Structure 1
Amino acid sequence: MSTSRRKIEHLNFCAHSPVESRKKGSGFDDITLIHRALPEVNMDEIDLSTRFLGKDFSAPFMIASITGGHEDTIPVNRALAKAVEEMGVGIGVGSQRAAIEDPAQEESFRVVRDEAPNAFIYGNVGAAQIKEYGVEVVEKLVDMIDADAMAVHLNFLQEAVQPEGDRDASGTLEAISEITSLNIPVIAKETGAGISHEDAVLLKNAGVSAIDVGGVGGTSWSGVEFYRAKDRNDLRSQLLGEIFWDHGIPTASDLIECDVSLPLIATGGIRSGLDIAKSVTMGADVASAALPFVEPALKNEQEVINTLSNFIYQLKVSMFLCGCKTVSDLRDVPAVVTGWTREYLLQRGFEIDKLSMR
């Protein structure tokens, strides 16, 4: 099956099937931000602006990589791009692999920059494609959308479940290291299974500029592949998708795992402005989400704007109730970690009680 055909299948399953994490969740329910009964802040004067990888944002949020690579995804990416341009936030494109294989698909990615000339936009390529095609192709992908950064996605869980998957992970770190020589920030990006502290250290040493933790809690790509397998009666892949549906590190814990003095993106189960606030308090520079914007984007630009506006207003309320005037203040809010997340982090050896004593 062509990459382009897989892309439209992925989009359809995300739009119409329950593909989110089912058991673990993101871990944000285990995080409590300390409420201020006396916030001493005028909510109307709260400043949500932030700066990430050299670009100004109106709020610490991006629409995470969703789609591209098929002609039917052009209106979806157009709606998303128009919305982020208006709202002053960032966006990532879906994997540009389809455009490498078929230049006719370039327009489905290029439309994002056409409609969002001022927004922060990151490109997207798999580590396997870097190994296969080399740094020169990555440069073409950057030029395709005039990218502000390039994400290298690490989706080996999906590759292992997917019949067409690339299961050769050897040389991945070397490939990532090679493209950090480009004159553009490189983001190491997981896609739903998280990045351990050990791997975060390796990625930092390889020269990446930022890490997108991509933890458990949002879309399960193992779950997406479960539905694809079910449609074609592939029982082996279907069973794999079921077994590994929730495999990995939940996002809230993963922000602590990836605390290696690099900018962090919190992706995986961000479903409200309160989740954004908790992400920043737990160490993220910005948060991002994809699935909440799929259905709105299939309708129109205004629906995407409405969803973004809700997220951002909820973030402002969260900051108000914590007594925060700026995003920088939010990073110092005391937070209590309980439940499974606390148990996980303690067993991993992280000092988390200091979060509650800020």
Structure 2
Amino acid sequence: MDCGTVAFSLPNGTLLACTFNEKLNEELFAMQGKEQRKNHVDTLLGPGLNIHRSPLNGRNFEYFSEDPLLTGKLAAAQLRGMRRFGVTGTIKHFACNNQEFKRTEIDSVLSERALREIYLRAFETAVKEGGAYSVMSTYGGLNGIWTASNFDLLTTILRDEWGFTGTVMTDWWAKGNDREGEEATRENVAAQVRAQNDLNMVNADAASNSQHDNLDDALADGRLTRDALVRSAMNICRTVMNSPVMERSLGRMSDEEREAAEAEKTSEDYVDFSGEYQFIDDEAPLDISAVNTEKGASTVLGIRYKKNGLYKFVMRVKANANEVAQIPMSIFIDGNLRGMVMINGTNGEVVTAEQDIGVLFGGTNYLKLYFGQTGMEIEEIKFVCTQAF
């Protein structure tokens, strides 16, 4: 995984569909669920349920079949398997993401009968028989309304007709529009909230996101009400409370999580740091000359401080790639994953990236940085104490 954890490799969706075997898929994904629980991964970004409309579709491997019955039954089985360990999958891409070419621009135009009998049927089965409570909408449009802001799709059908009570998220940097024929834009987040697309992905933090969306303007002129925002917040909270992260926040660990923590202490990756410590008080920058940012590399640094409290990890960084590139770096404190910084390519421009890492306590810790992809050029790293204890 991007954080450096070893994970087993699953067959792709089409190959799994070739089994025509619900029980086998459920057992396989029960093991997948156990691995997720060990690694604090509460939901997969999958399974993918779109239909093989054409054998030339570049994303067919991710989806099951040209048949909605087979697709829905196997997706439900996989969700049931993961649910044995309290985790789930985010079924995607809802709906009609049936071609890869220009999928951010394509408007799928089809009849209600074709939509309900072919393209929505598998999703309905996954919700009703698999207990799906996390859904990802698509990049494109459906009969003129982009799916991330499509009220009929996300509220009338998914929630009102099928009884879905969970969270809907966008695909990464998806667009929204208010009406048929109107241009869809990434800034039109108000339309997404009205449709009950609850999470706009991907954003570094809420403050940064709010600089580039139309929520404030829509609230001011009445296009959006506070009630709609509260409704999405309720959907998100309901999903969180239905997930293992709720148990972890209360200090409760599953057997799988406890076994993983013990196993880490005896693994070859476990670090008992005995090197030199660097002071981070008063936002003193770290000496990062030894940091290796190549894919798969990790570097361990010792940190020392006088103030116990909540801290934020802040770095100035650039990447000589365009904005479509995604480059992850995981932050471990004393062997525990505290967060991940994900930057896009910056075309060589230096930007600031931040990540809340929680409490630092005790005066000394070791910091491990793991790089899931090559491309970061880090100019400065420092820790900012946001609340001292």
TM-score of the two chains, using structure 1 as the length reference:
0.38
Higher helix share: 1
Normalising by structure 2, we get a TM-score of 0.36
- Relative contact order, higher structure (CA 8 A, sep 6+): 1
Greater percentage in strand: 2
